[in-house]
Amino acid sequence: MTELISRRKIMIGAVTSLTALACRADGARKPKTHVVKIRSFTFEPAHLQVQSGDSVRWINEDLAPHTATAEEFGWDTGELANGASAEVEVSDGMETTYFCAFHPHMKGSFEII
């Protein structure tokens, strides 16, 4: 009986440890880089779900130079010539809607989850 309890305790302990490990792994989630391609005067995808600590990379595949610029100008990739890219790191509270400063009808956004 004692042996059975001990085995059960060990099993519970092992499951608890694995859960804790999983939680730690989740807590220390590796940041992702989300890619937004700029094609034909549109951001693709135009909307993203991201987490704080992730990065968003914009790659300009158009001939015309573009930017990704926060609506209230809190962050900005600067000018992206054809083939150029730039990254912005996501942080809590940052602006999540943006546009191209050169072609303001181009709009995109992301949601911090």
- Interaction of residue 102 with another protein, rule CB under 8 A: yes
Name the residue with tokens 């610029």: 69
Residue 112 neighbours by CB distance under 10 Å? 16
Taken in order 40, 49, 87, 92, the sign of the CA dihedral is positive
Please choose, from the candidates 51, 47, 35, 54, the residue with its C-alpha nearest in 3D space to the C-alpha of residue 97: 47
Does residue 41 interact with another protein by CB under 8 A? yes
x-or-dash string of contact with another protein, 9-28, rule CB under 8 A: --------------------
How far apart are CB 91 and another protein at their closest, in Å?
29
What is the spatial distance between Cα 44 and Cα 4, in angstroms, rounded to a whole number?
58
Total site size for another protein, rule CB under 8 A: 12
Residues 57-86, interacting with another protein (CB under 8 A): 62-65, 79, 81-82
What is the binding site for another protein (CB under 8 A)? 40-41, 62-65, 79, 81-82, 102-103, 105
